[in-house]
Structure 1
Amino acid sequence: MSTEQLAPASDVYYDPYDLDINRDPYPTFSRLRAEAPLYYNERHDFYAVSRHEDVSKAFADRDTFKSGRGNILELIKSGIEMPPGLVIYEDAPTHAIHRKLVSKMFTPKTVAGLEPKIRAFSAACLDPLVGTDRFDVITEFAAQMPMRVIGMLLGIPEQDQESIRDRSDANLRVAPGKKMKFKENNLVRGGVFAEYLDWRVDNPSDDIMSELLHLEFVDETGTRRRLTRDEILAYVQVVAGAGNETTTRLIGWTAKVLADHPDQRRELVEDPTLIPGAVEEILRFEPPAPHIGRYVAQDAEFHGRTVPEGAAILLVAGAANRDERVYEDPDRFDIHRKVPSLLTFGLGAHFCLGAALTRLEGRIALEELLIRFPEWDVDLQGAEMSPTSTVRGWDRLPLVVG
């Protein structure tokens, strides 16, 4: 019997819906790693792992820890059957097939080609703010840029991108401390995406939506075919929702963390070549999605205890990214840190397809902010955190500049 089995039960409590924990989860994460590396929450009936080794193991073992019932705790426990095309909510063999198709949106050439457009849009957002003494970095910039980038990829006109962003964000919003609610008929919402898709059938262009409409592939039955309308809508929804929300939170955390560490921010102003490493450290230090859910398809063992088949488990990447077994002084923010084994984007078959694009957006956002605003503080009295349990970040973050 292991020493951990003999140790007295810990009184640590972890709850992704608890607003007090969510404001600063890291003391709780530290206790989870030390006292309850396999944690069970009886109230909400889920397990959680928090050490880097355990989270990595679960990400890599897609036969045991399944994505096919969703990666959000409420969705996993709902038992809803996933519609085809929601690639982040699929398992083998369909996942590999659909992932290959979606990856066409994120080739290195496609991502690199977006840089001038992202930079121009960032300048258009930030230039009018020069000379002001304060502005909300979320509403004026961070909430706008990611949806504009998705619009560039999909070929959605600029005048409609903001309304699409608001619809995507609303799907993740909950009342403070409450769970998300799902119905089978609202997992794929046609809405304005459906209108564009139908229009693109007769008006093809040089964009991803047109490419998805006309490509052929061999599906899991061996049949060569084109994607169905519902499959394309599902792809588009995944890209629009996942890419928008997480990148907005990353930019917000960039502003907040560098306000808390002005000396390191000044280093970035003096030496912009440090910015890519700083973005990587921010992704480790304040990941936009602190946990990712999985359905347990067969009994799994952690630390001498069994997680039973049929359970829901949270892989707490936000805790694993600060595991002292991997990172020296993990609660210290350091733009010079080499960041090995970052788990913010997952690992293995479900590694985030948009990781390179998110890093690009984060780098450009920081470069353009620092060019115009080398100094800023945060007005915490006017700041508001997002109430959603799936991502963690700011809905409002006023910056005082000067």
Structure 2
Amino acid sequence: MRIAEKVHYDPYDENVRADPYPVYARLRAAAPVYHNSQLDFWAVSRHADVTAFLLDGDRFSNANGNSIEPASWGPNAYKYASVLAMDPPMHTRVRSAVTTFFGSRRIASLEPAVGRMVRDLLDEVPDRFDFVADFVDRFPMRVLCLLIGVPENDHGLIQELADKVVERENGTHDAPIAAIEATLALMEYFGGLIEIRGRAPADDLVSHLLAISGPGQKVSPEEIVGFLNLLTAAGNDTVIQLLGNAWYWAWRHPSQRELAFAGNISGWVEETLRFDTPNQFAARMAVVDIERHGVVIPAGAKVLMLPGSANRDPDVFADPDRYDVTRLSPAKVTFGTGRHRCLGVRLARLQARVALRELVSRFSDYDIDTSGLRRVAAAEARGFLHLPTAVTRR
């Protein structure tokens, strides 16, 4: 039996979800191009391969989406996954329209509002609270609703639906009915919002997209709905996972927590993005047969790129399993690379920096009750649903 055949990677396996990094190390060493015949996917785990494949838009298509779940994979994926399920020229047109809204100046202008939201929430938390449920889960969606133009009275509804979209149970291999129904409800809501903004434009994302009218630039209402659905699901979830992971790993590493609390907030954010990547993989379809490391990935195959593994590759990152908030890691592929690089990078980083800065300004230390920890069950996600915390106030 070849060494590669001894390696087994199943992203739904509870042991893998609890700690995928030892499995990634075995993949990188023994099966850099891995095939799971039962789940019918291929996976690449080395940094060089993940980066090369993500950049290769000609041989790897997003037309079926970027999710491993059967309900989310197929030619209609663009309707709810937007730019993550598009190839050029559709992808170029829609992404260009959206990118003009998410400029650095607009994102930076959100910092005061994000700071107020975070401070208001921290005013409410007692000395013992659930870091995720009582704090982190309650503000990223408010920020997104502010950008989109959702009336304040509807923020709670959008939060509830977005949470259901990404909610999974242990052992499930596909999106549950509740998630599909929540997706349809979100899309229906956004369709109504588009009609309202068509009659009464405002300074928000929906109005911005509706106003684009140049030749070959206009985005349809259906395309706007798809992007808003993607934004509320992925944009909200990524920030929640990033902050929960940052809080947890700094607690697990007291020396690094001390550096973070001394003011190295940006390093705290960046090292968490590398060390425990919120989104562990992204799927593509091979357009042609692709040979790598003596293995041929057949045309039409579902291929997983594993940024969670790439960010721990010792060929790129020295001592990669060490959590070090002073580390410089410009090569990390947490947010992807190439034409599908995450549009919300600036926004995610801003929210994380502001939230951690405000936490450090209020609390001198904290402890986590590990008996109450609960991780998210989605195969591609790394984060927490519950993170019981006891804080020491300044």
TM-score (norm 1): 0.91
Instruction: For 2:132 and 2:24, locate their aligned partners in 1 and report how far apart those are by CA, in whole Å.
Output: 27
- CA drift at 1:164: 0.9
Counterpart for residue 375 of structure 1? 365
Counterpart for residue 178 of structure 1? 172
Instruction: For 1:335 and 1:68, locate their aligned partners in 2 and report how far apart those are by CA, in whole Å.
Output: 37
Helix, strand or coil: the match of 1:337?
coil
My pick for the range that moved more, 336-345 or 75-84, is 75-84
Instruction: For 1:265 and 1:21, locate their aligned partners in 2 and report how far apart those are by CA, in whole Å.
Output: 26
Counterpart for residue 354 of structure 1? 344
For structure 2, the residue ranges without an aligned partner over 5 or more in a row are: none
Amino acid in structure 2 at the alignment position of 1:159: N
Instruction: For 1:349 and 1:152, locate their aligned partners in 2 and report how far apart those are by CA, in whole Å.
Output: 26
- CA drift at 1:7: 5.6
After the TM superposition, which residues 234-273 of structure 1 pair with which residues of structure 2 at under 5 Å, given as runs?
234-270=226-262, 272=263
| Contact kept in structure 1, 2:71 and 2:174, CA below 8 Å | no
Counterpart for residue 114 of structure 2? 118
> How many positions carry a matched residue from both structures?
387
User: Measured at CA, do residues 238 and 167 of structure 1 come closer, stay the same or move farther in structure 2, by a change above 3 Å?
Assistant: same
| Contact kept in structure 2, 1:38 and 1:48, CA below 8 Å | yes
Instruction: For 1:266 and 1:111, locate their aligned partners in 2 and report how far apart those are by CA, in whole Å.
Output: 29
Instruction: For 2:239 and 2:283, locate their aligned partners in 1 and report how far apart those are by CA, in whole Å.
Output: 20
Counterpart for residue 225 of structure 2? 233
Instruction: For 1:312 and 1:383, locate their aligned partners in 2 and report how far apart those are by CA, in whole Å.
Output: 33
Instruction: For 2:244 and 2:211, locate their aligned partners in 1 and report how far apart those are by CA, in whole Å.
Output: 38
User: Measured at CA, do residues 214 and 182 of structure 1 come closer, stay the same or move farther in structure 2, by a change above 3 Å?
Assistant: farther
Instruction: For 1:168 and 1:99, locate their aligned partners in 2 and report how far apart those are by CA, in whole Å.
Output: 22
Residues 118-176 of structure 1: CA distance to partner in whole angstroms, max 9, x if unpaired?
011000011222xx331111112211121011011011123322321221221222221
Check if 1:31 corresponds to 2:31: no
Amino acid in structure 1 at the alignment position of 2:349: R
Counterpart for residue 53 of structure 1? 48
After the TM superposition, which residues 3-402 of structure 1 pair with which residues of structure 2 at under 5 Å, given as runs?
8-75=3-70, 78-83=73-78, 86-129=82-125, 132-181=126-175, 189-219=186-216, 226-270=218-262, 272=263, 274-402=264-392
* Percentage of matched positions with identical amino acids: 37
Instruction: For 1:307 and 1:143, locate their aligned partners in 2 and report how far apart those are by CA, in whole Å.
Output: 39
- CA drift at 1:77: 8.2
| Contact kept in structure 2, 1:77 and 1:312, CA below 8 Å | no
- CA drift at 1:60: 0.4
Instruction: For 1:334 and 1:279, locate their aligned partners in 2 and report how far apart those are by CA, in whole Å.
Output: 11
Instruction: For 1:107 and 1:206, locate their aligned partners in 2 and report how far apart those are by CA, in whole Å.
Output: 14
Instruction: For 1:301 and 1:387, locate their aligned partners in 2 and report how far apart those are by CA, in whole Å.
Output: 33
Instruction: For 1:252 and 1:108, locate their aligned partners in 2 and report how far apart those are by CA, in whole Å.
Output: 25
Instruction: For 1:78 and 1:194, locate their aligned partners in 2 and report how far apart those are by CA, in whole Å.
Output: 23
| Contact kept in structure 2, 1:105 and 1:153, CA below 8 Å | no
Residues 305-349 of structure 1: CA distance to partner in whole angstroms, max 9, x if unpaired?
100001001111101000000011000000111102111100111
User: Measured at CA, do residues 83 and 67 of structure 1 come closer, stay the same or move farther in structure 2, by a change above 3 Å?
Assistant: closer
Helix, strand or coil: the match of 1:217?
coil
Instruction: For 1:80 and 1:351, locate their aligned partners in 2 and report how far apart those are by CA, in whole Å.
Output: 21
User: Measured at CA, do residues 9 and 267 of structure 1 come closer, stay the same or move farther in structure 2, by a change above 3 Å?
Assistant: closer
| Contact kept in structure 2, 1:345 and 1:352, CA below 8 Å | yes
My pick for the range that moved more, 97-106 or 72-81, is 72-81
Instruction: For 1:260 and 1:144, locate their aligned partners in 2 and report how far apart those are by CA, in whole Å.
Output: 24
Helix, strand or coil: the match of 2:382?
coil
- CA drift at 1:182: 8.4
Amino acid in structure 2 at the alignment position of 1:326: V
| Contact kept in structure 1, 2:71 and 2:175, CA below 8 Å | no
Helix, strand or coil: the match of 2:4?
coil
Helix, strand or coil: the match of 1:86?
helix
Instruction: For 2:22 and 2:73, locate their aligned partners in 1 and report how far apart those are by CA, in whole Å.
Output: 30
Amino acid in structure 2 at the alignment position of 1:48: A
Amino acid in structure 1 at the alignment position of 2:135: F
| Contact kept in structure 1, 2:66 and 2:73, CA below 8 Å | no
Instruction: For 2:116 and 2:4, locate their aligned partners in 1 and report how far apart those are by CA, in whole Å.
Output: 55
Instruction: For 1:306 and 1:76, locate their aligned partners in 2 and report how far apart those are by CA, in whole Å.
Output: 27
- CA drift at 1:390: 2.7
Helix, strand or coil: the match of 2:329?
coil
Instruction: For 2:6 and 2:375, locate their aligned partners in 1 and report how far apart those are by CA, in whole Å.
Output: 27
Amino acid in structure 2 at the alignment position of 1:142: V
TM-score (norm 2): 0.93
| Contact kept in structure 1, 2:65 and 2:74, CA below 8 Å | no
Instruction: For 1:75 and 1:93, locate their aligned partners in 2 and report how far apart those are by CA, in whole Å.
Output: 25
Amino acid in structure 1 at the alignment position of 2:112: P
Amino acid in structure 1 at the alignment position of 2:91: H
My pick for the range that moved more, 324-333 or 142-151, is 142-151
